[in-house]
Chain A
Amino acid sequence: MALPGFLRRERIVARPGFNRWLIPPAALAVHLCIGQAYATSVYKTALVEDFGTSQTAIGIVFSIAIVMLGLSAALFGTWVDRNGPRAAMFTAACFWVTGFVVGGIGIETRQLWLLYLGYGVIGGIGLGIGYISPVSTLIKWFPDRPGLATGMAIMGFGGGALIASPLSRQLMNWYDPEYDPAVAGTVPSGGAVSALFFTFAAVYLVFMMFGAFIVRVPAEGWRPAGFDPSTVKQKALVTTESVSARNAVKTPQFWLLWTVLFCNVTAGIGILEQAAPMIQDFFRTGDTSTVAVTAAAGFVGVLSLFNMAGRFVWSTTSDFIGRKPIYMVYLGVGLVLYVALATIGNSATWVFVLLAAVIISFYGGGFATIPAYLRDLFGTYQVGAIHGRLLTAWSAAGVAGPLIVNSVLDTQGEPGSLVAANYRPALFIMVGLLAVGFVANLLVRPVASKWHEPHRDAAGAATPTPERSAAR
């Protein structure tokens, strides 16, 4: 289907002199909105009560959205690369906002399937397209600092939850004055949640469309002043060649990175998903914990901050020390920290918080650095599409992480009676996963030349390499 003229890639090619520092806020405008997905726990209890159903039935909404994120990023990645960031951001905004409207109608009319369809399926498609839409554009605008560039955008996804959580509580308090976020036990009404959904739909529409309006792609051959690509080429694993998304998935490098991301995310989710009850259980004596409910909420806040900061700081660091070494840190140091958490994590609250916070910063860093790693290995040609396909690892980890932790804890005892020792089996499974990821990262080598796209001569004719022809 042909795109309307204003969305087409050729309409947003930047003229000489365009300031590339307008692109990060365009990316953030999208990622700050879709990052709301991490804040769904704010109204989970309200929906459980309003629909009169189980925690699991409501929790599935978030799971559907994350699975759809991975699937849509994989399916539409090539379309996003072909049509450019404006078309992608516009489309993502339409899906994300429609998801909130349909989901809001579902809550208003008490039809759970509409919430699944709206927020889960339709919104999830918006999540996937929105997540990858600015990434390849940022990499092309910042060839000198791709880690910084992707860190800035993907930091926004972490930041989206920081904004949406307190804002949701505030808005629901306005829509339902009987709900007071400061008073434990009060729950907002379903009407307040649906009103919140409609409000978010309006606000996110404006924000995301602003991002789509200001985004530009660099002209062919553009490079930042003073930047010499040959200096980048000298780094190990970095290519100036191009690999198509179709060929990338046939390489061992893609699947090694898939394993790396899957292991890193699964391990991180292990802590994130259980954060509040986990800190209370680690410091439990009998039926009581020395960590209060409000302090446990504070712990979730600390993790959110480190999750977001890790995305920016570690991804930027990777520009200086390289992608493979930074993943050795995420997975190798992360492994040691997990062992420490399992063995000495209950010695003092500050030890537990410090260990968990650094682990979560590695979790965020892993997300933010992967697009730059892909760019190093496969070039910028279809990096958005390759990134989209790789995000299926996130979907798989989103299912595996909670499944591992919850099934282990189920064998250990009832919630509210667990102690630090009950978490050790799950934590050591995560240690094993990180070890697998560490080895996978060690095995990453430059992509074989047979997968490189053919160079074009002056007349525009392709001159395929013999190896690539043979590979086809």
Chain B
Amino acid sequence: MSTSISKEQSADAQRPVHTPTGLIAFAWTLVGVPLAYGLYQTVKTALTLFTG
């Protein structure tokens, strides 16, 4: 019984998957938006060095 279960689990682990493109886009957006905000704010501050 346990052998058949482990075989099923093993077969399941080998079954190919397709990572949803939407999930990848969402994940990159989730980290990209705050990073873009931080970059924008820092560039704005950095410009004061050159604009006085």
Contact = CB atoms under 8 A, between A and B. Distances in A.
Interface in B1-52: 13-19, 23-24, 27-28, 30-31, 34-35, 37-39, 41-43, 45-50, 52
Contacts of B15: 15-16
Given A22-B27, A214-B23, A298-B47, A162 B42 contact: yes
A25 interface: yes
B24 A162 contact: no
Nearest to B20: A19
Interface stretch (A236-244, A299-307, A385-393): A299-307
A21 B42 CA distance: 27
Interface of A: 13-19, 21-22, 25-26, 28-29, 32, 156, 159, 161-167, 207, 210, 214, 219, 292, 294-295, 297-302, 304-305, 349, 353
Contacts of A305: 39, 42-43, 46
A28 B17 CA distance: 23
Contacts of A22: 19, 23-24, 27
B16 A15 contact: yes
Nearest to A291: B49
B42 A214 contact: no
A298 B27 contact: no
Contact of B31 (A156, A295, A297, A298): A156
25 contacts: A14-B17, A15-B14, A15-B15, A16-B16, A17-B18, A19-B24, A21-B24, A25-B28, A29-B30, A29-B31, A32-B35, A156-B31, A159-B39, A163-B35, A163-B38, A166-B37, A166-B41, A167-B38, A210-B27, A219-B13, A298-B49, A301-B43, A301-B49, A302-B46, A302-B49
Q: Lowest 3 CB-CB distances: which A-B pairs, in order?
A: A298-B49, A162-B38, A163-B38
A294 B16 contact: no
Contacts of A304: 42
Interface of B: 13-19, 23-24, 27-28, 30-31, 34-35, 37-39, 41-43, 45-50, 52
B35 A298 contact: no
Contacts of A19: 19, 24
Contacts of B47: 298
A297 to B, nearest CB: 6
Contacts of A301: 42-43, 45-46, 49
B33 to A, nearest CB: 10
B4 to A, nearest CB: 19
Tell me which of A18, A29, A292, A301 has the highest count of chain B C-beta atoms within 10 A of its own C-beta. A301
Nearest to B12: A15
Given A32-B34, A301-B43, A18 B48 contact: no
B46 A159 contact: no
A351 to B, nearest CB: 13
Given A21-B24, A161-B38, A295-B49, 19 more contacts: A15-B15, A16-B17, A17-B18, A18-B19, A25-B24, A25-B27, A29-B30, A156-B31, A162-B42, A163-B35, A163-B37, A166-B37, A292-B52, A294-B52, A298-B45, A301-B42, A301-B43, A301-B46, A353-B49
Tell me which of A28, A164, A210 has the highest count of chain B C-beta atoms within 10 A of its own C-beta. A28
A210 B50 CA distance: 39
B23 A17 contact: no
A18 B30 CA distance: 20
Contacts of A18: 17, 19
Tell me which of B13, B37, B38 has the highest count of chain A C-beta atoms within 10 A of its own C-beta. B38
Contact of A297 (B17, B39, B45): B45
